[in-house]
Amino acid sequence: MLLKRTLGAVAAVGLLAFAGTALAQDKIKIGVSYPTPTHAWAAGMNWHAEQAEKRLEALYPDVDLILVNSSDPEAQASALEDLVSVHQIDALVVLPFESEPLTDPVLNVKKSGAWITVVDRGLSQPGIEDLYVAGNNPELGRVSAQYMKGRLKDGDNIVVLRGIPTVIDNERFDAFMAEIEGSGINVLDHKHANWNRDDGFEVMQDFLSRFPDIDAVWAQDDDIAIGVVAALKQAGRDGDGMFVVGGAGMKEIIKGIMDGETLIPVDVLYPPAMIATAMDQTVAAFKSNGPVAGRYILGATLITPENAESYYFPDSPF
């Protein structure tokens, strides 16, 4: 009798182990790869990825999201190899550190049979991804210019602080300038501030020393805008009616808009939460009977006191 009970217990343990293995194999494994945060927007993206991981895994117990951040393109390429060889992922959500060096590594993941979602920075070879999720850079420029046109009059003067010299910066700047053209608003100068607070401060100092009459500033980016405001306050020109328009949706800026800040009265959204959108849609590729593949371009919403609360995430680092 004891022998029969022992054998029965062993058999039960074996069945449980087999069932556990089967459940593990039935998991939908999705790798999420992005650069290690080195500035505020990227830190916000990392936070939103972690929040989406918790939410989606609680909603779908059979989904396993594997988050990996990498310090440079080579490290990210190596991480992609591990996601395939070690984790045997069914899908990849990737924000490439740089487009060119990550194109072949992502293509290799595609060849393994995985679904590919690319976020923000496109690959150098079209057609690899099943889904592309990004913000709308031209629209960010247009929306900023439209707000300027609504606030300013013919003959008013503005200065422009650009980002890092990239395709993204060109798309934003070109759309802004095209919208401003013919409005009678004078663009006194534009210089690159590299999406950086210190550079924003230095460039704005230069503008203030050269232009005594500035009515508004397009900073394009919230980090730049914070540097611009610091320069205005140091020069004692923060109370002369000038206003600044940034972009991205930094919580510090949005809180100021909610509180009625007049120096930065609005912001234009370029959300770090786009990584969460990409994760949602990738899971939907396995869970929904509706089509998911294609391009998912997020709007560049004008954030005002009326809608700011909807875009305020106080626990986010951005």
Give me the phi and psi of 127, to 5 degrees please: 90, 0
Q: Look at residue 279 in the predicted model and tell me its pLDDT.
A: 98
Q: Is residue 311 part of a domain?
A: no
Q: Say whether both 157 and 69 belong to one domain.
A: no
Q: Say whether both 129 and 277 belong to one domain.
A: yes
What are the residue ranges in the chain where pLDDT is below 50? Answer: 1-24
Q: Where on the phi/psi map is residue 236: left (φ > 0), alpha (ψ -120 to 50), or beta?
A: left
Structural domain that includes position 153: 137-268
Q: Is residue 68 part of a domain?
A: yes
Any residues with CB less than 8 A from the CB of 251 and at least 6 apart, and which?
Answer: 312, 313, 314, 316, 318
DSSP state of 309: G
Which has the closest alpha carbon to 105: 66, 65, 72?
72
Q: Say whether both 86 and 36 belong to one domain.
A: yes
Q: Is residue 164 part of a domain?
A: yes
98 close to 62: Cβ distance less than 8 angstroms: no
What is the tally of structural domains in the chain? 2
Q: Say whether both 159 and 57 belong to one domain.
A: no
Q: Look at residue 11 in the predicted model and tell me its pLDDT.
A: 40
Q: Say whether both 141 and 264 belong to one domain.
A: yes
Q: Say whether both 141 and 251 belong to one domain.
A: yes
Radius of gyration of the chain (CA): 24
Q: Say whether both 150 and 118 belong to one domain.
A: no
Q: Look at residue 6 in the predicted model and tell me its pLDDT.
A: 41
Q: Look at residue 239 in the predicted model and tell me its pLDDT.
A: 85
Q: What is the pTM of this model?
A: 0.80
Q: Say whether both 115 and 197 belong to one domain.
A: no
Q: Say whether both 150 and 167 belong to one domain.
A: yes
Q: Is residue 304 part of a domain?
A: no
Torsion of CA 163, 42, 134, 85, to 10 degrees: 130
Q: What is the CATH number of the domain that holds 161?
A: 3.40.50.2300
Q: Is residue 253 part of a domain?
A: yes
What distances in angstroms separate CA 173 from CA 142, 187, 210, 223, one per listed residue?
A: 9, 12, 22, 17
Any residues with CB less than 8 A from the CB of 187 and at least 6 apart, and which?
Answer: 158, 159, 160, 177, 180
Q: Look at residue 98 in the predicted model and tell me its pLDDT.
A: 87
Q: Say whether both 158 and 55 belong to one domain.
A: no
